[in-house]
Structure 1
């Protein structure tokens, strides 16, 4: 998959290099959840039938982050993970349009005439709630009108599970509330965090449960504080474990920044400075304060046993 950074207006050089008849899926696609996947699968299928490339255009940073509006609090899929997922779905080209205040003022007409037409987009595939242009003035109906006889538009219908429309905002809410089961159903996969293993307080090793302290490498949506059954990947090795997201109230007072501590089962290797990807599968319990170290150790042992059982029957 080719990744093409874009700014507005695109340079003549970029347009000349990448202009070709193509089917393009457009959207923010944060999360690449089941609904987003249906949009992209539609584009891939159309492109295969027409024997032309399939592309995706996304916008980065997130418009809510730039405009300081709404409930934005991080990414479900930072750009690196989004790239990997789209590559696995068979996308040929990923256009990453820089979203800034200047681009936020671009009208729907300007976007179509200055970006989509010069790239020779044959068909644009969007979700039913797609909005674009200054103040979100454009929708799929306007996009179809502006495309005229130069570009057709396909609209994917809402994707529902158990009568509910799958959405990024719903997944964010589920993660904040500890409803990991719902988040995973709507994502269609585990929720993933990635970072560098860094020095922590090294308290875990003194109580028989050494942990890897994960320093996240991007601005992720942070799930509810608590304990999770996870699978981690370090240097190509996949391992099961248990992760605590929280502030360790047994040892700390006050509102501290959450830490991410992973205890890996049957593992005893030095991994400071290495990249670790953690896939979250089950929410075990909320974080709480214990009366002392002995009570904490007993609970960690129970959490580890619970995690082993849950991971032995995970769907993903």
Structure 2
């Protein structure tokens, strides 16, 4: 897959020389609903013998249009992870538009002319709720009028599971509730985060359960407080383990939330390494124990459950 970062306006060197099928959307998380849109684009491209191009943005539109604070906004998929997923789902040319104020100020017709036609779209594919300006004047229903016969429009309907729309908002709610199993079902893959191994308090080592303390990349949406079964990948090798997202309340109140992972059958020094974490399954909530012995007994039970789950 070819990734093209575009600082508006679109330059001639970035434009495809041949017609493409162009998929549009922000696709935070690239969940099952997003995958339906990309798959519809892939089918159109294959049917016509064209490349599949996808255009997204470097920032969530809510930051620009909705007044959301960029410094505090959390993403389900940061740029590197999002690009990995786009390649996995069959995108050929991946356009990332930098969401400048000038770009945000484009009128719908100018956006269509400069970016849909500018990217040589023969077909434009997007979800039913995609907009390119204010909803009442820039909906998918109105796009054929702006297209003026220059490209076809394919609108992908809402994707529901169990009567509920699959959405990034729904997934965020599941993560907040520590319901990683639901989040993974809505995503269609295991939720994955990336971070750096940093030094902690070495409390786990004292208890016989040494942990890798993960400092997550800025903007990462971390699952809610609880104990999880995970897989961690470092230097291309994957290890099973159990993760704690919590405040270590057994050892004091009002502590910061940390992510600590006990890796099974693992003795390497990985401080400073960049790692990826696959969040597989929720085990239990965080509990304040009366002392270290009670906590160790629970950790032993957690390890048995985690190893059993990983064997599946």
TM-score range, shorter chain: over 0.9
Match of 1:24 in 2: 22
Determine which of 30, 42, 45 is the counterpart of 2:43: 45
Are 2:170 and 1:165 equivalent residues in the alignment?
A: no
For 2:281 and 2:109, locate their aligned partners in 1 and report how far apart those are by CA, in whole Å: 46
For 1:107 and 1:207, locate their aligned partners in 2 and report how far apart those are by CA, in whole Å: 61
- Kindly report which structure 2 residues correspond to 1:273-288, keeping only aligned pairs within 5 A, or say none: 273-288=272-287
Give the match's secondary structure for 2:124: strand
Q: How far apart are residue 49 of structure 1 and its match?
A: 1.1
- Contact kept, 8 Å, 2:249 with 2:255, in 1: the verdict is no
Please list the CA deviations of residues 221-278 of structure 1 after superposition, one character each: whole Å capped at 9, or x if unmatched: 121111100111111111110000112112232152x211110011111111112111
Match of 1:79 in 2: 79
For 1:245 and 1:60, locate their aligned partners in 2 and report how far apart those are by CA, in whole Å: 28
Please list the CA deviations of residues 197-238 of structure 1 after superposition, one character each: whole Å capped at 9, or x if unmatched: 111111111110000011112411121111100111111111
Are 2:254 and 1:254 equivalent residues in the alignment?
A: yes
**Superposition RMSD in Å:** 1.7
- How does the TM-score come out when normalised to structure 2? 0.94
Please list the CA deviations of residues 265-309 of structure 1 after superposition, one character each: whole Å capped at 9, or x if unmatched: 111111111121110111111112221111111111111111112
Q: How far apart are residue 157 of structure 1 and its match?
A: 1.1
For 1:138 and 1:145, locate their aligned partners in 2 and report how far apart those are by CA, in whole Å: 10
For 1:285 and 1:158, locate their aligned partners in 2 and report how far apart those are by CA, in whole Å: 33
Structure-2 change in CA distance of 1:136 and 1:63 (3 Å): farther
For 1:150 and 1:41, locate their aligned partners in 2 and report how far apart those are by CA, in whole Å: 23
For 2:251 and 2:100, locate their aligned partners in 1 and report how far apart those are by CA, in whole Å: 42
Q: How far apart are residue 182 of structure 1 and its match?
A: 1.3
Structure-2 change in CA distance of 1:14 and 1:184 (3 Å): same
User: Aligned residue pairs: how many?
Assistant: 310
Are 2:288 and 1:300 equivalent residues in the alignment?
A: no
Q: How far apart are residue 134 of structure 1 and its match?
A: 5.1
Match of 2:59 in 1: 61
- Kindly report which structure 2 residues correspond to 1:1-316, keeping only aligned pairs within 5 A, or say none: 1-15=1-15, 18-67=16-65, 69=67, 73-133=73-133, 137-254=137-254, 256=256, 258-313=257-312
- Contact kept, 8 Å, 2:10 with 2:118, in 1: the verdict is no
Q: How far apart are residue 98 of structure 1 and its match?
A: 0.9
Give the match's secondary structure for 2:249: coil
Q: How far apart are residue 41 of structure 1 and its match?
A: 0.6
- Contact kept, 8 Å, 2:231 with 2:241, in 1: the verdict is yes
- Contact kept, 8 Å, 2:17 with 2:120, in 1: the verdict is yes
For 1:186 and 1:144, locate their aligned partners in 2 and report how far apart those are by CA, in whole Å: 31
Structure-2 change in CA distance of 1:136 and 1:183 (3 Å): farther
Please list the CA deviations of residues 100-125 of structure 1 after superposition, one character each: whole Å capped at 9, or x if unmatched: 33322211111011122122111110
For 2:18 and 2:302, locate their aligned partners in 1 and report how far apart those are by CA, in whole Å: 54
Unaligned runs of 5+ in 2: none
Name whichever of 277-286 and 93-102 sits farther off. Answer: 93-102
For 2:68 and 2:302, locate their aligned partners in 1 and report how far apart those are by CA, in whole Å: 36
- How does the TM-score come out when normalised to structure 1? 0.93
- Contact kept, 8 Å, 2:248 with 2:255, in 1: the verdict is no
Structure-2 change in CA distance of 1:212 and 1:137 (3 Å): farther
Name whichever of 45-54 and 300-309 sits farther off. Answer: 300-309
- Contact kept, 8 Å, 2:64 with 2:104, in 1: the verdict is no
Unaligned runs of 5+ in 1: none
